[in-house]
């Protein structure tokens, strides 16, 4: 039984909807480009930062057997996007752990919250730069369109992935907020307990899974096999990052629980010592009054 027959015969609205969102994203990138100029300037002044690894990776891809006619792995834009996608979670995890160990970002920006917002701004900007490299691959003349992805089934799949990805990202952001989304726990800004319920009941890492779905949806609409491969690479990179993040987050919250237990015991001991002091004072007062009565 084919479930695709329940889909509408004309799926052009799905394509137009996802493409319009993609166009809006590109317009956002154009607006944000002046603010991302330092990143682009670094890339221009230090071309070996991305160019040398991209060439090395491209040459490695060329030597791979069974090159597909639907994807050009030797495209430098593909190699650059491949590297930038891997750098995103790697850099922000390193910065987060550095902050947790040394509090250096909080010291530079005079507080935990300003430091967290500064790191959030950097993560957001670098993520936009990553999205720009991904879109460049989709538009690259060196990448052929994949006719296999022109089927309605893949377009419908793109629509499903797009909706699910948006739901996961938006709902997770509502639950977490800016601080919770952008490594606030590394700054010591913690929730009372780890969040549960939707979307965390549906996905342990809704932000990462939702972003991977959006990348895949955009690639399917563009009929780009290179984009599909990069979307899979996004998912793999996020999965690897989530393993380290989850273990470190568990460590942070276990430290918090240990600290809370010690604080509770300390407060209880202080309270009990105060009670004993009061009782001793009362007993002394009673003894002195009774001795005075005897003397009288």
Cα separation, 133 vs 124, in Å, equals 14
Cα separation, 25 vs 239, in Å, equals 25
| 145 annotated binding-site participant | no
Q: What six digits make up the tokens of 127?
A: 């993520």
Nearest CA to 71 among 223, 232, 237? 223
Give the H or E element holding residue 140: none
| 246 annotated binding-site participant | yes
Answer for the pair 207, 266: CB distance below 8 angstroms, yes or no. Answer: no
Q: What six digits make up the tokens of 34?
A: 């002046």
Q: Who contacts 129 (Cβ-Cβ below 8 Å, separation ≥6)?
A: 36, 39, 84
| 165 annotated binding-site participant | yes
Residue ranges in the chain assigned as alpha helix (H): 12-32, 37-45, 51-62, 76-102, 104-108, 112-139, 152-181, 206-221, 225-295
Instruction: Please give the distance of CA 255 from its chain centroid, rounded to a whole number.
Output: 22
| 16 annotated binding-site participant | no
Q: What is the DSSP letter of 137?
A: H
| 196 annotated binding-site participant | no
Annotated binding site for S-adenosyl-L-methionine: which residue ranges? 163-165, 245-246
Binding residues: 163-165, 245-246
């Amino acid at each position: 039984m084919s479930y695709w027959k329940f889909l509408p015969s004309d799926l052009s609205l799905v394509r137009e909807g996802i493409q319009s969102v993609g166009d809006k994203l590109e317009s956002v990138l154009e607006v944000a480009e002046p603010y991302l100029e330092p990143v682009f300037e670094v890339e221009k002044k230090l071309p070996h930062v991305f160019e040398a690894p991209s060439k090395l990776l491209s040459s490695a891809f060329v030597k791979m057997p069974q090159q597909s006619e639907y994807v050009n792995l030797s495209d430098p834009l593909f190699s650059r996007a491949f590297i930038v996608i891997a750098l995103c979670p790697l850099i922000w995890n390193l910065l987060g752990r550095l902050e947790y160990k040394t509090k250096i970002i909080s010291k530079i920006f005079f507080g935990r919250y300003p430091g967290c917002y500064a790191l959030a701004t950097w993560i957001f900007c670098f993520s936009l730069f990553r999205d720009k490299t991904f879109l460049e691959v989709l538009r690259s003349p060196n990448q052929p369109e994949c006719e296999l992805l022109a089927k309605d089934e893949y377009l419908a799949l793109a629509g499903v992935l797009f909706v699910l990805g948006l739901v996961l990202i938006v709902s997770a952001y509502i639950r977490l907020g800016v601080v919770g989304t952008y490594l606030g726990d590394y700054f010591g800004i913690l929730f009372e307990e780890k969040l549960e319920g939707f979307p965390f009941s549906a996905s342990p890492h809704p932000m990462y899974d939702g972003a991977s779905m959006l990348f895949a949806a955009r690639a399917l609409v563009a009929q780009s096999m290179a984009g599909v491969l990069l979307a899979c690479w996004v998912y793999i990179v996020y999965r690897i990052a989530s393993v380290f993040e989850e273990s470190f987050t568990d460590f942070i919250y276990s430290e918090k629980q240990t600290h809370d237990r010690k604080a509770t015991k300390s407060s209880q001991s202080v309270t009990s010592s105060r009670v004993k002091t009061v009782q001793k004072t009362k007993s002394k007062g009673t003894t002195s009054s009774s001795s005075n009565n005897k003397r009288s």
